[in-house]
Amino acid sequence: MITKLKYRDFHVCYKSNGSRYLEILDDILSCNIQKLSVEKVFKSQRHTHVSLLNTQYGQYVLKIYSPQHKKLEKFAKSLLRPNDNENLIEKIDLARTQGHTFPNDFYLLAERRTLKFAHLSIMLFEYIPGPELRQLPEIPQDILCDVKTSMQQMHEMKIISGDAHGGNFILSKKGVRIIDLSGKRCNAKRKIEDSVTANIRIGIPLEAQNLWEKFLITRKTKRHFKILHRKHQLQQDRFINHQGGH
């Protein structure tokens, strides 16, 4: 169950079985270096910071997001659509209560909002130690089958990945887990996109069940390789320009 409240000017959603998450949020907002330390930085960009946080309760993944572009457009969309992060924490909590442990747990969401638009989002996730699938020299067939089954179950729970590449799958001691999920609405198109990305990036078996799925798979696959070709062309152009400058 998820508890929702207004706390220190933030709209907060957190797991009802743990007041510790509010304590950690307090420490984050107060920059309490006596209780918190950063073990590792996973990503540091202008709009997104992701790090492994040491706390008195153990290690957590801290994600801080603040939109920097298209703010007016995102503000308008937020008035018409459900909150993706709030949607995600509720869906993962429901999945966990039903015994699904494939998605990594989402413990706390704190957002500073204007109406429904979040200027700043602070998220606390479960840390899952283990290698990413993309770090393995070869992914065993039984793991690929396990990922396929788990993704199907996740889609049945109306949860999508949004970016099912090898870096978002962790081989933990208790099996393969998935991280960095999306709270966007789960529909047939997004489920197919998940499956196609997982097929292309890590080799998850993929079969179309009907003509509509076959059409979506074909379109997504063509789009994926078109983007790859464009990136490759840009890299070549930069290399040529760099060589020409010397």
Work out the number of other CB atoms within 10 angstroms of the CB of residue 140. 10
Contact 130, 173 (CB under 8 A): yes
pLDDT (tens place) for every residue of the chain, 246 residues total: 899 999 999 999 999 877 899 999 999 999 888 899 999 999 999 999 999 999 999 999 999 999 988 889 999 999 999 999 999 999 999 999 999 999 999 999 999 999 999 999 999 999 999 999 999 999 999 999 999 999 999 999 999 999 999 999 999 998 999 999 999 999 988 998 899 889 888 988 887 777 877 887 788 788 877 877 787 778 777 767 766 655
Residue ranges of alpha helices (H) inside the chain are: 20-29, 71-80, 84-97, 141-156, 188-202, 211-244
- CATH 1.10.510.10 intervals, the chain: 130-245
Contact 187, 133 (CB under 8 A): no
- Rounded to 5 degrees, φ, ψ at 206 are -140, 130
Tokens 């990305």 sit on residue: 197
Query: Is 1-127 a domain of CATH 3.30.200.20?
Result: yes
pLDDT at residue 188, as a whole number? 87
pLDDT at residue 211, as a whole number? 81
Work out the number of other CB atoms within 10 angstroms of the CB of residue 15. 20
- CATH 3.30.200.20 intervals, the chain: 1-127
In sequence order, the β-bridge partners of residue 117 are: 114
Q: If you write DSSP's letter for every residue of 91-129 in order, what string do you get? A: HHHHHHHTT--SBPPEEEEEEEEETTEEEEEEEEEE---
Pairing of strands 117-126, 106-114: antiparallel
Q: What is the pLDDT of residues 224-240, one digit of tens each?
A: 778 777 877 787 777 67
Residues 130-245, CATH architecture = Orthogonal Bundle (1.10)
Q: How far apart are CA 79 and CA 83, in angstroms?
A: 9
pLDDT at residue 217, as a whole number? 79
Taking the model in full, what pTM does it have? 0.86
pLDDT at residue 236, as a whole number? 76
Phi-psi region of 123 (alpha: psi -120 to 50; beta: other; left: phi over 0): beta
Q: If you write DSSP's letter for every residue of 39-67 in order, what string do you get? A: EEEEEE-SSEEEEEEEETTEEEEEEEE--
Selection from 153, 158, 221 nearest residue 188 by Cα: 158
